[in-house]
Amino acid sequence: MGRIPLSAPASVRTVQPGKARWVYLLLSFVMNIMLGSAYSWSVFTLPLKEVYGATTFTAMLPFAVALATFSLGMVFAGRFVDRHGPRKVAMLGGALVSVGYMLSFFMDKTGLPIPTLILTYGVVMGLGIGFSYNPPIPTATRWFPDRKGLATGFVVMGYGLSPLFTAPLASALIEWYGVPTTFLVMGVLFLAVLVPLGSLLRFPPPDWKAPEPKGKSKRTWTPLAEMETKAVARTPAFWSVWLLYAVGTAGGFMVIGNAKPIAGEVGGAAAALAIVAVQVLAVFNSIGRPLFGRSADVYGPRRTLLVMYLVLLGSLGLLAVSTSVVPVFAGIAITGMVFGGFLAVMPAIAVYFFGQKHLGSNYGLLFTGYGTGALIATFAAGPLRDAFGSYVPAFYVGIALSALGFAISVLLRPPRPAAARMESAKAPTRA
């Protein structure tokens, strides 16, 4: 049984050593519930169009920019986490998320509501998510070296589950107080939760070891190498995985950012039922993370990716041909489930190909593929909806991207042995 780090908070030090790591996992899960409020953006799109004159495309821009800066923030956050540990980085990220939301309160006082939201919500808040989202992932994988995929899947499940709570909250606040005040209230809430939780995150000490499993481990793979980020970026394997991340999440973002209007326009759902689509998406998005994360542990990340792309092809195809509520909700749910899977499987494949030691910075760089997927979805779904009056053409774009992703998955190979040089062991970073 491993020892709990002496720098851990008193509330964590009182927990039995074998159970301490579950406390850090729970902290990370709750943090992600707060951060995943970005996935409730579709609640804001209709008010932005009706009250502020936005088009489908411009109403999506703050969301898309937020996800793009989210991915860029992950790059810098990963380097800081690897060097200084998770605590300070998570606290900084929580503060930025809160400030971004609160600054969005001034959107109707500048005379330029959408550009203001692009700056406050898109840039400031998005950067904060990157700094808050990164630390829990290496924290979870270091505390759970025996269950990396499952641990990561559980942590990021909170992010996917968030709209189940934040979408109704935002919808009610918008109805009662309007869009600007909604941003202010949520910003204060996040300040009160994210910063204190971030201050509790710690890496295990260098001599800590995971408890011995009671039964035989079902894991079928171990990391192939330990590679620094500069070396990783020079391998074809990295750019193949990066492209898989971009094209896989693009199809999901087309649905996530527009779940409520898709349910209403494509499925003919009434307004009250359309908001349920956001919550259904949240539930299945969260389920997909531990489900496919566990699959990556047992069957390997590459096999799991092949299955995910096949399922995504089917769900987007279902959305493309559906005209009633039930199949549309099914397509939204399954697409959300696969999208959530990418957030669990991609950290696992980063560990498998490039090692655990530099996961923070390596996955941060890989995560820019996620931001690229958000931009692809925005520039596909928004203009196509405005041009054709329907989201269906965007679904066919998603199908084409998913087919490309499946083909890349078939051809995917790990880094060559010459590129994947093993590094000399150094003491892990503590916080």
Domains in the chain: ranges and CATH: 15-211+222-411 (1.20.1250.20)
Question: How far is it, in rounded angstroms, from Cα 166 to Cα 169?
Answer: 5
Residue 199 confidence (pLDDT):
92
Question: How far is it, in rounded angstroms, from Cα 262 to Cα 402?
Answer: 20
64 and 377 Cβ atoms separated by less than 8 Å: yes
Tokens of 82: 């690897």
pTM of the full structure = 0.75
Question: How far is it, in rounded angstroms, from Cα 259 to Cα 279?
Answer: 9
CA distances from 273 to 173, 263, 264 (A): 18, 8, 8
Question: How far is it, in rounded angstroms, from Cα 339 to Cα 63?
Answer: 17
Query: To 10 degrees, what angle do helices 179-198 and 42-52 make?
Result: 150
Residue 213 confidence (pLDDT):
58
Question: How far is it, in rounded angstroms, from Cα 137 to Cα 139?
Answer: 5
In terms of Cα–Cα distance, which of 370, 386, 335 is closest to 244? 370
Question: How far is it, in rounded angstroms, from Cα 244 to Cα 353?
Answer: 14
Residue 418 confidence (pLDDT):
42
- DSSP SS3 for 91: helix
325 and 38 Cβ atoms separated by less than 8 Å: no
The separation between the first and the last C-alpha atoms of the chain, rounded to the nearest angstrom, is 21
Helix (H) or strand (E) holding 355: none
Residue 79 confidence (pLDDT):
81
Residue 186 confidence (pLDDT):
95
- DSSP SS3 for 282: helix
Residue 377: partners with Cβ closer than 8 Å, 6 or more residues away:
64, 249, 250, 251, 252, 253, 254, 257, 394
CA distances from 36 to 96, 195, 224 (A): 15, 15, 32
List the pLDDT tens digit at each of the 431 positions of the chain: 444 454 455 544 444 545 678 888 899 999 999 998 888 888 898 899 889 988 888 998 999 899 889 988 888 888 888 788 899 999 999 999 999 999 999 998 888 999 999 999 999 999 999 999 889 888 888 888 777 767 877 887 888 788 888 888 998 999 999 999 999 999 999 999 999 999 999 888 877 676 665 555 555 556 667 788 888 888 999 999 999 999 999 988 888 777 778 887 776 666 667 778 888 888 898 888 888 888 888 888 888 999 999 999 999 999 999 888 888 889 999 999 999 899 888 988 888 888 877 877 888 889 899 889 988 888 888 788 888 888 889 899 999 999 999 999 999 888 765 444 444 344 344 44
